[in-house]
Structure 1
Amino acid sequence: MTGHSTPALPLGPEPGRVLVTGAAGFFGGVLARHLADRDMVVTSLDRLRDPDPDPRITYALADLRFPDQIRHVFRTHGPFDAVFHCAALMGHENPDPRELWDSNVTGTGHLADICIQEDVRKLVYISSICVFGRAYDYLVTEDEPTCPVCDYGRSKLAGEEEVKKRAQKLDTDILRVPTIVSAGRLGLLTIFFEFVKEGRRIYLVGDGSNRYQFIFAGDLATACVLAARAPGSTTYHVGSDNVKTLREVYAAVIEEAGTRSRFFCLPEKPSIAILNLLFKLGLSPLGPYHSRLIAGTFVFTTERLKANLGWQPTRTNEDILREAYRSYDKNKGDRSAALSAHRQGAKMGILRLLKWLS
């Protein structure tokens, strides 16, 4: 679906000078370049160096856990009209729980406080549908009670609370996003892509009739710009339209790859129990949230975002996974400590043994 409807909210002009946290990561990098394409003055704040820097973007090394470092970036490169908070420590890399919380929660509070001190007009916080930890047989609205089941999901929910506590002083839109995909997205998708590329069995937990919503990185970047133009503070769900079953989506990637991969169905309850045990033992990157999503249905309504901001998604799940696979096939999924979690392939762990047995 293409095009924008008329927004219900009065949208202001696009910001001129902006800060993107986590811009050395996958989506932060996509967003920073999207903003530069729109002639904004863009500064990146990240604890990592961007492996492919863009000459239009100013890069500042800083860690959100340390307010003085954040304040230095604001004083050196600001003032900023809007801040896009994309930085987060990811859960599937098994970070130290304290570091995860300090980065994703305490760091978000530090950033929001400095936005207030420096008169930032709008903060856009990239949250996650990991704040929900169970499957749903209906479209999930923003008013659904949250129920995270992993440390990452709990940290993102706590990050939401950090910005909500400051809502009287700082307009903040929260965007809850599913898996963000486009060319260059690796992470856990690399495991699936590697199985497909080598023509291995593709394991479905259940019969594959469940549905899971992705989002095209370019569509999310568009939502971020619209949110930065909107007044007030609102929580939005973001995701693709026309969500097909995982069996159908996976079949599109197999077709793209042109391999002989075939589906193999596993019983749901014992498979989830085994995946959770392997994760606890440190043998698999697939935690409780991942084991639920590969077996259950997670589709979230985006009607509030469409109505308030006039946003529309332009790519389906099949489109964006085909594109991501083509990029993976061309560039492979090498690992490096200098790359963010989603810019490199995830550690496969014991799933590599499963691959060789497939």
Structure 2
Amino acid sequence: MKNIFTICLCLCSVGIFAQYKPVVYDFQKNYFNEGQPLPAETRFMLSGQVPPGVNMIEMKIFDEVGKKVLYTSRWKHRNYDSTASGFNIAVNYPLRGNQEYTFELYFYQTLTDKEEEKLIQQLDTTLFAYLDQSVTVNRNSVSLQKKSKQMIEDMNAIVRNSLGQQRNKADYRFEGFSDIVKNKIAQLEDLRLRKAKFSIFKKKEKASTEEIRGEYATQQLESLKKLVSAEAHNALDAGTSRLTDKAVIDNYPVEATRTVVSLNIGYGGIYGSGDGDNLRYASAPYAGISLPFGNRAFASKFASSLSLSAGVFLTNLDFGNNETASGPVVGLPVYTGLGYKIFNFLRLNAGATLLKNTSPNFSGNQIYVRPFVGLSAEINLWMGLNKDR
């Protein structure tokens, strides 16, 4: 039954997500595609069976060492009140061939009302205890045991650590307490407990000055606690899920790839000398190779279309007026330069040509360089066999 479900997932992925290669994750065996290497240099759709009760799955891709996060994506069930049978995660991060990557999958379940209430209580208890320890009421003022900036950083850390294993449906992440909380702490730090502050307590005729001051300070601290609590709870208001399981797939291989070298066969023109009516040039067919500056799966279109080109002109050159040239290395003119693919099979080449003067009335050994430009057809050649891991 499970094999039939896996096959159905593959067929659905092929039909619906044709631009993605299908990859099926087996939760029980903890590997992909029945242990086969992952596709290289292309986007893929990660599919699998959802464990019971899970409504969110988060995936992270790490480098071969397993320390640097390269890509993160997630799947979440649209209806948090029901369960799903399968998941699909679009992975828009092409993997490099002949390498290994570490994958981590995190499985989340929706908190029950009791679990959410308990989490809120624990969060409030920790924050309130921190504020009680950090704020001291003196005879005439309120003092802070730490700088207000440090208090904000500490409380931000408390909330992030408390909610580190939780996710919510709206993808809301706690970004830190607002300027309102920062200003409230600053006001508390500057608070002076003078008699002028206590007109609201005049009705308490039997209360001592110390009692009034203490009640006023407590009131201000409680106001801060309510504000802190309200902002911290915002991260829990959108259907919170908790981490219930985690799967790690270490050093999983990617399929082997081969190096591509492009063979160029074209026709080019080489500048000789002069300009205007006195312009002298030669033309000849040429053949060479091109090595791209970038892989189209990882580089920009410009970088993957640009290449370093080198080759030879297939005949010696005749510039007219008894001026001829060959090459100093293989007896033919050689060139090097840049190429740019303008269509799928056409490349524009431009660069420099190394020439040797072979004019009839020239007896020396003159070697010189002239610019050239040409247009060539391109054929991709596979260099070498697949690299075994």
Q: TM-score range by the shorter chain?
A: under 0.3
Question: TM-score, length-normalised on structure 1?
Answer: 0.18
Higher helix share: 1
Q: TM-score, normalised by structure 2?
A: 0.17
